[in-house]
């Protein structure tokens, strides 16, 4: 996902360019919005964390871009491309180093396992979009 901060700040093109140059194939792509309820469902794993309310409010605050990406070793390689959760710790050359504002407004999301990538892809896309 390209999160609402990066969409708002005009970074969709720059982020997709970095993703494509890193060798990912875009399987599915759309700009959409999440209600607070749907954002809460997406990040349900964090519901006991102190920042959950803030996270849900932010993720439902504006448009975001959802994508399914394909590559060998995609999950690990994408997490390396996006960089650390807190942009203050993100390595040079990563998407969060370049585009994230803060730990809360950190520009992008990446799935943390193949299993969650499947679940999160199904959350946003259906049928022919996934081929």
User: Which positions from 6 to 45 touch ligand GTP by CB under 6 A, shown as an x/- string?
Assistant: ----------------------------------------
The residue written with tokens 């959760």 in the block is: 85
* DSSP character at residue 116: H
Should residue 114 be labelled a site residue for ligand GTP when binding is judged by CB under 6 A?
no
Should residue 110 be labelled a site residue for ligand GTP when binding is judged by CB under 6 A?
yes
- Is 46 a known active-site residue? no
Following DSSP, what letter does each residue of 3-69 receive, concatenated?
Answer: -HHHHHTT-HHHHHHHHHHTT-EEEEEEEE---HHHHHHHTGGGTTSTTHHHHHHHHTSS-EEEEEE
User: Which positions from 58 to 97 touch Mg ion by CB under 5 A, shown as an x/- string?
Assistant: ----------------------------------------
d(CA 22, CA 79): 12
State the binding site. 3, 51, 79, 85, 96, 106
Which residues are at the interface with ligand GTP (CB under 6 A)? Answer: 46, 51, 54-55, 85, 103-104, 106, 109-110, 112
């Amino acid at each position: 996902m390209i999160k609402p901060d990066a969409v708002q700040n005009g970074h969709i093109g720059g982020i997709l360019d970095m993703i494509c140059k890193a060798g990912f194939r875009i399987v599915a792509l759309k700009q959409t919005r999440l209600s607070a309820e749907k954002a809460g469902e997406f990040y349900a794993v964090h519901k006991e964390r102190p920042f959950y309310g803030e996270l849900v409010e932010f993720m439902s605050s504006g448009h975001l871009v959802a994508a399914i990406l394909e590559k060998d070793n995609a999950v690990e390689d994408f997490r390396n491309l996006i960089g650390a959760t807190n942009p203050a710790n993100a390595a040079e050359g990563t998407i969060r180093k370049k585009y994230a504002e803060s730990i809360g407004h950190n520009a992008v999301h990446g799935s943390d396992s193949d299993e969650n990538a499947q679940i999160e892809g199904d959350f946003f896309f259906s049928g022919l979009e996934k081929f």
